[in-house]
Amino acid sequence: MVAVAVHLPLLLMQLPLKSYDTNFHIFFASHYAQHWFDPWNPKWFAGFSQTTYPPLPQQWTAILSWVLGLNLAYMTVQFVGILLLVVGVYRFAELWVSPRAASYAALASVFIAAEGFLVYSAGQLSTTVAAPIYLNALPFLFQWLRHGSWRSFLKAFVLLVTAAAAHHVTLIFGSVLFALPIIALAWMDGRDSEDSDKVSAPALVVRIVSIVVVAGAAIAAVLLPFWIGLIRYPVTQTPIAHASRANFLLSPEAGINYFVVPYGALILALPFIVIRGSSIRRLRPLLLGFWATFLLGLGGTTPVAPVLLGRSFNVLTFERFSYWATLLCLPILGQVIVEAVDRFRLKALIPIASLAAATCALAVAWSTYKPADASNLNVDSVALWLNRDGHDHYRYITLGFGNKLSRLAIQTNANSVDGESNSARMLPELTQFGGAALTSSKYFAKPGLDSLRAMLNHADRYGLKFIIVRDPYYDPLLYFAGWRQVDSLDDKTITIWSKDGVPPALPMNAAEMPTHFQGLIWGTLPVGFSLLAMLVVLLPEKRLRPEHVTDAAYTREHLVSGGMVS
């Protein structure tokens, strides 16, 4: 109910449309809505495969868009992810702390800044959908490892595969960071229980291997087109700079954006989380998992991420690690809140509630204080211009359109050689330099401008005839490269440049084009497993609570360890 009260009005106002990546996900969804079994999309990069990105959230957005429209469908999928997070945090926290502390952890998940930052500022739909599904899978994984429940095995298996179909980075990194504390907890509980309920080390290993093998095989099948593309065409482009990899001590602006805002008032609770997590033996595996994820989320501030991740460090962005760290510490935070409320009553409750509200408000408002480039731009006039008089027979690029690049691609029939999916780019003019989207070239200094110059020099090769400019910074570059202004829009705030003699654009016969069989897999298995997950989780199951999760048990352990309990 609190999640509905806080987030539903914000989503109905479509606030995420101002974020960095929301239009990117809606663009992918718009293609699935029209070409469900054909993941080849000609609108970016002269053609690219959407199998470079797991499809589940975008496919559900596409399905709902047939009734609700793309924008509202996106908000609906995001809202489901928020609700799943509340449920997942409660179920996950119950493995570690008492039900009362778990309820506080679930309530806190509504207000955590990392969620608000990713939803309303970063727009990372796949991350905010995949992580809650993993959290809902972990209790079933624990029951399988601890008690050998085959029904729990089935539920964990289906949910793990569904989460993998939502996001590849969460699969490769987040699932490991979430699962390792669960494995340690199952081992601790199995070793400390009565003789009739002990779990031997060989039995635990067999259960771990079985779930990894079965789920791994299913994930390999469900995301087969993704793995084929990754193996045949690995990402070898020049690394693109990202502020989340910076040293936050040397770059205060990056530190505010990727540390202060995503953690909010949780920063004040970190000492108490460490103290409580280390003093309670049961919480130590969770604390270690949180601490490792927290250090990774600091990017280049410490040597941990560059050393542990190697080359991947220059490919990943690290705001998602801060998000995962927040989720891992919520059970401990719930326990801290229980103890504070029991001891101080309203003197604790009022400051905690105020800090939670302020934390959520800062994360939601951050997209206003630090908006995405061109977040308020309306591209309707540009789309109309490209769609008329045969202009869509040629390719185009935009300059100064920021995150509205994806919105324009949705509305126009014309194709571009630019795009926002860095991992999907194969054109050498884009991959040989350290710039991201051409529309934001100037923000990447020399690498970005070098990439733009290379594309302008090869305009004839790609049928690139039109450049739509919103930022006069680029005018001298275009003029001296042989382009001339031919039209203007919106009271001359947008100019259109052209080059004579460019032939019409032809379809690219790219080797990366998925086969019909890959399109069939992509259009059936991810959504099919999500539907199966909805059915499987409804199967009744005997409730098996993990040991030592009552308030009384915590009281005894705190007294033995010297903890302060009211």
- The residue out of 475, 498, 521 marking a domain boundary is 498
The predicted structure's pLDDT at residue 373:
77
**279 and 333 inside one domain:** yes
Are residue 153 and residue 83 in the same domain, yes or no? yes
Q: Name the residue among 319, 294, 289, 295 with its Cα closest to residue 307.
A: 295
CA distance 413 to 270: 51
Q: Which residues constitute the domain of residue 471?
A: 380-498
Q: Per the domain annotation, does 527 fall within a domain?
A: no
Domain count, the chain: 2
Residue 132 lies in a domain: yes
Find the mean pLDDT for residues 194-199.
71
One domain, residues 337 and 390 = no
Same domain, 411 and 364: no
Of the candidates 127, 136, 143, the residue with the CA atom closest to the CA atom of residue 93: 136
Q: Give CA 108 to chain center in angstroms.
A: 20
Question: pLDDT, tens digit, for every residue of 177-189?
Answer: 999 999 999 999 8
CA atoms of 254 and 433, how far apart (whole Å): 23
Residue 267 is predicted with a pLDDT of: 96
Quick count: other Cβ atoms within 10 Å of Cβ 252?
A: 12
Please indicate, yes or no, if residue 395 is contained in any of the structural domains. Answer: yes
**235 falls in which pLDDT band (50, 70, 90)?**
confident
Convert the pLDDT of each residue in 465-519 to its tens digit: 999 999 999 999 999 999 999 999 999 999 999 999 999 999 888 888 999 999 9
- Given a contact cutoff of 8 angstroms between Cβ atoms, the answer to whether 77 and 124 are in contact is no
Please tell me the predicted confidence (pLDDT) of residue 374. 74
The tens digit of pLDDT for each residue in 360-393 reads 999 999 988 988 877 788 999 999 999 999 999 9
Tell me the longest C-alpha to C-alpha distance in the chain: 84
Sequence-distant (≥ 6) Cβ neighbours of residue 460 within 8 angstroms? 501, 502, 503
The pTM (predicted TM-score) of the whole model is: 0.93
Q: Domain check: are 367 and 385 in the same one? A: no
Read off the pLDDT of each residue in 418-447 and give the average, rounded to a whole number: 92
Q: How far apart are CA 18 and CA 372, in angstroms?
A: 7
Q: In the predicted model, is pLDDT for residue 564 greater than 60?
A: no
Residue type, 314: N
Residue 522 within any structural domain of the chain = no
Residues 160, 144 contacting (CB under 8 angstroms): no
Side-chain-side CA neighbours of 223 within 13 Å: the count stands at 27
* Position 417 pLDDT exceeds 80: yes
Same domain for 304 and 348, yes or no, is yes
pLDDT band at 355 (very low <50, low <70, confident <90, very high): very high
Residue 526 has pLDDT above 60, yes or no: yes
* pLDDT of amino acid 566: 32
Q: Is residue 117 part of a domain?
A: yes
**Same domain, yes or no: 237 and 145:** yes
The answer to whether residue 523 sits within a structural domain is: no
pLDDT at 558: 44
User: Are 91 and 215 members of one domain?
Assistant: yes
> Over 70: is that where the pLDDT of 529 sits?
yes
Q: What is the pLDDT of residue 192?
A: 76
Of residues 140, 128, 134, the one with CA closest to residue 172: 134
**What pLDDT digit, counting tens, does each position of 545-556 carry?**
555 455 544 544
Residues 6+ apart with CB under 8 A from 389: none
- What is the rounded average pLDDT of the residues 424-449? 92
Amino acid identity, residue 539? L
Q: What is the mean pLDDT of residues 249-268?
A: 95
Q: What is the pLDDT of residues 277-304, one digit of tens each?
A: 999 999 999 999 999 999 999 999 999 9
Cα–Cα distance measured from residue 403 to residue 440, given in angstroms and rounded to the nearest whole number: 9
304 and 450 co-located in one domain: no
| Across 2-29, average pLDDT | 95
Assign 191 a pLDDT band (cuts: 50, 70, 90): confident
- Provide the pLDDT for residue 551: 53
The answer to whether the CB of 471 falls within 8 A of the CB of 514 is no
**CA 398 distance to own-chain centroid:** 26
The residue-averaged pLDDT of 537-545 equals 68
So what's the pLDDT on residue 543? Answer: 56
Give pLDDT, residue 549.
53
Give the C-alpha separation, 541 to 494, whole Å.
61
Residue after which a domain boundary falls, among 469, 498, 527: 498
Local confidence band at 199 (pLDDT 50, 70, 90 cut-offs)? confident
Examine the domain organization and report whether 263 and 187 are in the same domain. Answer: yes
- Rounded to whole angstroms, the Cα distance separating 441 from 479 reads 17
- Average pLDDT score over residue span 457-467: 95
Residue at 43 is within a domain = yes
Of 371, 403, 428, which marks where a domain is finished?
371
**What integer pLDDT is reported at residue 196 of this predicted model?**
64
In the block, residue with structure tokens 């927290």: 294
Residues 160 and 252 in one domain: yes
Give Cα separations from 431 to 40, 45, 419 (angstroms): 19, 11, 12
Q: Residue 122: is its pLDDT beyond 80?
A: yes
In a domain, 537, yes or no: no
- For residues 251-272, average pLDDT: 95
pLDDT (mean) for 405-431 = 93
Are 64 and 186 in the same domain?
A: yes
The answer to whether 352 and 342 are in contact (CB under 8 A) is no
- 234: pLDDT strictly greater than 90: no
